Amino acid sequence: MRDDEREASFTAFVTARRDHLRRIAYAVCGDWHTADDLVQTALVKAFVAWPRIRCEGNEEAYVRRIIVRANIDRHRRATNREHVGVPEHGGSCEPEPVEERSALLDALQNLPAMQRKAVLLRYWLGMSTAETAAELGIAEGTVKSHAARGRERLQALLADADR
């Protein structure tokens, strides 16, 4: 693949999927700034491997896997990293679309991290138990457990929100 073809195909992918990948990253981590960082990290890594992953035809799965793993790494290394504070101001940098302010996404953020990731991958992205287990690096039984507990907790949170 020539450099100009590589850049053109990568740019087309980013243009078409960036917002979707950002929403996935937000659902995984619960913070828009961190979501942007996760997507940026994933896209940099994807660009390096672009000819290979483009040939295999699984571009989005590759980037999604990087987002999930980068978030896991971020939590593992949290004590070893210096955190730069973002100045507080009256509102967010950009208005949040209505779909992202929904009760479901709010409830998702109240789940423990692994339950949230399992529910997100299994039910929002429609991945199989085996795919979810591979993406998270855990056993299939653990995925089932996290997903079931997460679903139950979501139902309780959403029922409370309706009251």
Per-residue pLDDT of the chain (163 residues; tens, 9 = 90+): 578 888 999 999 999 999 999 999 998 888 899 999 999 999 999 998 998 998 888 899 999 999 988 988 887 776 544 444 333 444 444 544 454 456 777 788 889 989 998 988 888 888 889 988 988 889 999 999 999 999 999 888 877 776 6
> Do the domain assignments include residue 85?
no
On whether both 68 and 104 belong to a single domain, the answer is no
Distance (Å, whole) CA 22 – CA 40: 9
> Do the domain assignments include residue 137?
yes
Q: Residue 141: its pLDDT value, please?
A: 93
If we measure between CA atoms, which residue out of 34, 33, 94 comes closest to residue 68? 34
On whether both 1 and 60 belong to a single domain, the answer is yes
The CATH number assigned to the domain holding 115 equals 1.10.10.10
On whether both 3 and 60 belong to a single domain, the answer is yes
Q: Residue 97: its pLDDT value, please?
A: 46
> Do the domain assignments include residue 148?
yes
Residue 22 parent element (H or E): helix 3-29
Question: Which of 46, 78, 110 is the endpoint of a domain?
Answer: 78
Q: Residue 162: its pLDDT value, please?
A: 67
The CATH number assigned to the domain holding 7 equals 1.10.1740
Q: Residue 163: its pLDDT value, please?
A: 67
> Do the domain assignments include residue 93?
no
User: What is residue 162's three-state secondary structure?
Assistant: helix
Phi-psi region of 137 (alpha: psi -120 to 50; beta: other; left: phi over 0): left
Q: What is the pTM of this model?
A: 0.59
Q: Residue 73: its pLDDT value, please?
A: 83
- Residue 93's Cβ-count burial label (10 Å; 0-12, 13-18, 19+) is exposed
> Do the domain assignments include residue 4?
yes
> Do the domain assignments include residue 94?
no
Q: Residue 57: its pLDDT value, please?
A: 83
Tokens 């089932």 belong to which residue?
144
Q: How many other CB atoms sit within 10 Å of the CB of residue 30?
A: 18
Residue-range definition of the domain harbouring residue 33: 1-78
> Do the domain assignments include residue 63?
yes
